[in-house]
Every structure is written in structure tokens, then in C-alpha cells.
Structure 1
Amino acid sequence: MSTRRETFLFVLLAMLWGTSFVAIKAGLEDLPPVLFAAVRYDLAGVLMLAYAAATTDDWLPRSRADWIAVAISATLVIALYNAFLFVGERDVTSAVAAILIATNPILATAFSRALLPDERLSTVGTVGLLLGFVGVGLVTRPDVTGGLSAELVASGFVLLAALSIALGSVLLQRVDSGLGTEGLVAWSNGVGAVLLHAISGALPNESLGGLTLTAESVVAIVYLAVFASVIGYFVYFRLLGRLGAIQINLVSYATPVFAAVTGWLLLEETIDATTVTGFLVVLVGFLLLKRDAIREELTALR
């Protein structure tokens, strides 16, 4: 990173998104998971649409491609990602959830290899991809001799969340949309909230009538909507233009640190050595996959 300001914004974004896993965990004490996610994006969608309308001229979807981009993002990046993540976080720690979501860039590479004909994976890149999956195995530690534990099932849901957002990001590359980034995120938030309400309504034990708001759950919703979503995406947009996609991807590997520390301080969560090792293996896999782009970025900074 080239300036102190960019470094500060990078750390701020990692903190906002890392602590969001702790806020989700705290809110799940009182709120049904998918309904919790839906209410978060009700608020975030309104705020993001207002922000996009005030700051950009190309925030309204106008073409078929624009609406396809919104549909992909709202369904995969917002609705399914958050439904799986919020359900999964009931039985895994904030740090484990953050580490599993950090596989998103690795999974996106795998989807790119399968769906984008121009994408090719070298031998070293293949090793990086395999290391990513080894790291996931170390984090989840499935017991092949026993039954499915609640923690393993929950880890599976979080991995489905990572798969959803990875697939969504790759499919969006195939859509030639003229919709601005802020507008795409804002509409995705709003439409995603509607889809989350639909999913919540189809699930047992989730209804607005049974919603009980406590001081803690309200703080969690506001923090996730305002800080993790609106402010987080505002910081993300600023950094994306200054740093590029490769450097900003590294934020995925800083968020678990904040999730682990905050979860330990506020929720008394612990993280063991095997989980830390798994996280480091995932990070090495990412660095191998993106080594050429990282080398180019470092050369440009010099």
C-alpha cells in the first residue's frame, strides 16, 4: 500500500468486516438466523440506495444486463451467502466462520477455471488451489469415523456461503452491465433483503410475529447494516480504485484476525493451533494462486 491513509483504510475495512462475524454471533442469541440477515439488509438496502442515488449518476438499472447483474448479485452474493452464513454461525466460532469465508478468492479461481474459457491454471496455481482445500480440512477437521457433528454441519453451511459469493463474483464477470458499482451493490442489498425474507418465511420457526428485539440484537443489526455494510462498502470502493482487486483481496486474510481477537474479548471464544495452521495454509494457497498478480502489484509500487 502506497500511503498511510490507504493502510489505515485497509485496517479499518478488515476490522469492520472481521468484527461483523462477532456481531452476527451475538445477534444469533436472540434472532432467527435468516430473518436476522433479512432485517440487516432491509436497513442496509435503504441506506445504500440513498447513498448511490446521492453520489452517482448510473445507479438505476436500465438494461436487461443491468437487471441480470442485480439478480445474480442479490441471489448469490447477498441472499444465499447470508442465509448460509447466518445459519452456519450458530455452531461455529466467529474466527472459524471468517477463515472459511476467506476461501472465497480461492473458490472464485476454481469457478473461473471452469466457467471462463480464458482462465488457465498453472501447476503452481493448482498446488495453491489444493492447499486452500487442505486448509479448509484443517479448520473443519471432519471425523470420518463418526457421525455428522453440529459443528461440522455448521462449517458446511459457511462453506456454502463462501461458494455462493465466489460463484456470484465469477458470473458477474460474464455480464456486460453498465450499472455502476455503487448502484449494483445498493440494488443487490435491497433485492437481496426481499429474497431473504422469502427464504425466512419458508422456514419453520422464523416469523416476524415471533421476532423479539433486545438491546444486544438491535446493536448487532445496526452495526452490521451501518458499519459493516454501508461504511464497509464505502471504504471498499475507495480502496478498490486505489489498490486494485489483488491487494483488496488480502483483506479476506486480515478479517479472521479481528474476528478471533474480538470473539475472544467479547464472547470468550477460543481458537486452537490446528485452526490457526489451517488459516495459514489457506493464505499460502491464495498467495500461490495470485503470485503473478501480486508480483505485478509489488513491481508497480516500486
Structure 2
Amino acid sequence: MQKRDILIGLVVVIVWGLNFIAIKVGLRDIPPLLLVALRFVLTCFPVIFFLPRPPISWAWLLALSLSINVGQFSLLFIGMKVGMPAGLASLVLQSQAFFTLLIGVAWLGEQWRWNHLAGLFLAGSGMTIIGSQQGGEMTAAGFGLVIAAAACWGAGNVIMRRATVGIPAFPILSLIVWMGVAAILPLMVLSLWLEGYDAWVAAWHTAGWASLGALIYLALFATIIGYGLWGKLLSRYPAAVVSPFALLVPVVGLTSSVLLLGETVSFWQGVGALLIMIGLVVHVLGANWKVGKKRHENSS
């Protein structure tokens, strides 16, 4: 990769890592489901009028929106509201990689590799350790909801693979924005049903500049700028080259949550976090190590 593109990748990592700080700040005054809905309102308008609809069917677009935008983000935001620290949430959410694999194997008949099994074992061990450390800033409900959010994200990833089979490449930002439009109405209905109109009124009167800034950050930086830059990298390089940058997102999330929010990580939570990170690295990069080893043996 060129130095400029490496810098772009690092910018995206920082933007997405700080995304979890913005969520925590926004949740102080705005109910979770309403915050998700408002995020996509600001994300999609007026940008939607300048981006063509991606060349996939409405059925697939709705399926993607319900799994990722409604399912993932609703469960993530609610989980962080009821007791999941921002730093640990940024890490646990990355278990989507393993849910993507499990669902892909079951639905699309994808094949396991040694690094998938090893990574799943390591990350699963880390999840078990973190999940057993209840109390303090993390609750069982918060942890479970973020795991469920990761599962929805994994399902959405597999749906995206299925939906884009045989379709020419198109801008990822276009897909993100149109998925956002499809999510607004379901999220508004869910918010009114579960959180109530009174919660909307209370948010209107209590939300300050910090909450507004968090909302703008989620819509503009984490979504429009983040996915826009990520899409540019994917258009220039293979996914295998770009995707490892995502491994740095929880590093930024954990570090920034400690520095900016004063969150703490217990010894055993730290052990679990380390196992998850190692598992993710093995899962994403392990196949390349094996290939590299074979090349070295052949050259010698």
C-alpha cells in the first residue's frame, strides 16, 4: 500500500474506534433506539439525493438493513446503555468475524480452515472469561446484547455476500446510505413502542451540545467519512490487504475509553481481551502465515 493509503486506513481506524465514545456520550441524554434512528436520519439526508441506489434488489436491501442497521446497532446501543463499557464493546463486537464464518458455513457451504478453528477457540475462550467477569461497569445483559449485535452483523455480512453475487462493483457508501433509509421507519416505530413518546420529549429537553456533537460524529464521521474512505481503500486494494486495519479498531476503542471516559479493565477482562485479539489476528491473518511458510520452504 502507498503511504497515503496507509494513513487513510489509520484515520478510519481512529474514527471507528472513537465511535464507541460517541455512542456512550449520546446515550447519556438520548434513548438507544431513538439515537440509532436519528443517526441514520442525519446520515441519509440530504446525501441520499446524490447517491444512486445500489444494484441489488429491494428485498436484499431490506434484509441487509434489518440485520445490520436495525438488529446490530439497536442491540449494541441498548447493550451499552444497560451495562457494557465502550472499550469492551468495541472488542466484543468484533466477534462478528466468527459469526460471519459460522453462518457462512451453515448457509453458503463455506469451508473451515485451520486458522478459523484456532481463532474461534482463542476468541471463544476470551469471550468466556470476559462474560464471567460480571459486576462493576459491565452487566450480563450488556454483554449478552453486544454478543447478539455481533451475531446480527455476521448475518448481515453473509446476506451481503449472497446479495452481491454476480453484481458489478459499486460504491460502498451508496449501499450504507440506502440501507440507512430503509432502517429509519422500523427504528422509529420500535423506539415509539419500546421507549415511548415521553422519552422523545425528555430527550428533546435534556439533550445538550455533547449529545448533539455525538450524534453528528456518529452520522458524519463514523458513517459518511469512515465508510467513504474505507470504500476507497477497497476499490484500490484486495479485501485481504485492507481488512487487517479493522483489527486496530478495538485497540483504539479500549485505549480511548480508558483515557476519555475513565473506564477500567480488570485483570481477567484484560486476559480475555488479549485472547480475543489474538484470536482475531489468527482468524484474519493465519492463512497468510501458512502460505508464507510454504513459500519459504520452497525457496530454501
- TM-score with structure 1 length normalisation? 0.85
Query: Cα distance, 1:36 vs. partner?
Result: 0.8
Q: Please give the secondary structure, in 1, of the residue aligned with 2:53.
A: coil
Q: Name segments (4+ residues, structure 1) moved above 6 Å.
A: 294-299
Aligned length: 286
- Give 3-state SS (helix, strand or coil) of 1:284's partner: helix
SS in 1 for 2:162: coil
Q: Which deviates further from its counterpart, 88-97 or 271-280?
A: 271-280
Shift of 1:216: 1.0
**1:194 partner letter:** L
* Residue among 114, 133, 137 paired with 2:106: 114
1-side partners of 2:65 and 2:265: how far apart? 33
Structure 2 stretches lacking a partner, 5+ long: 295-300
Residue 253 of structure 1 corresponds to 247
Structure 1 unaligned residues grouped into runs of 5+: 54-58
Q: How well do the aligned residues superpose, as a CA RMSD in angstroms?
A: 2.6
Equivalences for residues 1-302 of structure 1 within 5 A? 2-51=1-50, 53=51, 59-60=52-53, 65-90=56-81, 91-117=83-109, 119-141=110-132, 151-175=139-163, 176=165, 180=170, 181-205=172-196, 207-212=199-204, 213-290=207-284, 291-292=286-287
- Report how far residue 246 of structure 1 moved: 2.7
Structure 2 Cα separation of the partners of residues 192 and 294 of structure 1: 40
In structure 1, how many angstroms separate the alpha carbons of the residues matched to 2:169 and 2:183? 17
Q: Distance in 1 between matches of 2:174 and 2:194?
A: 30
Hey, which of these two has a bigger chunk of helix by percent? Answer: 2
Over 3 Å counting, the alpha-carbon distance change for 1:272 and 1:195 in structure 2 is same
C-alpha deviation, 1:298, in angstroms: 11
Deviation at 1:172, TM superposition (A): 1.8
Tell me the CA shift for residue 107 of structure 1: 1.6
Identity of aligned residues (%): 23
Equivalent residues of 2:25, 2:210 under 8 A apart: yes
- SS of aligned partner of 1:29: coil
Q: Aligned letter for 2:280?
A: F
**Residues 1:283 and 1:261: Cα distance change in structure 2 (over 3 Å):** closer
**The 10-residue stretch of structure 1 (240-249 or 226-235) with the greater mean CA deviation from structure 2:** 240-249
2:115–2:282 contact (8 Å) kept in structure 1: yes
Alignment CA distance shift 1:202-1:295 (3 Å)? farther
1:53-107 deviations in whole A, cap 9, x for unaligned? Answer: 2xxxxx2257xx5212211221011111110010011212111100111111122
Report the AA paired with residue 180 of structure 2.
N
Q: 1:39 to 1:272 in 2, by over 3 A?
A: same
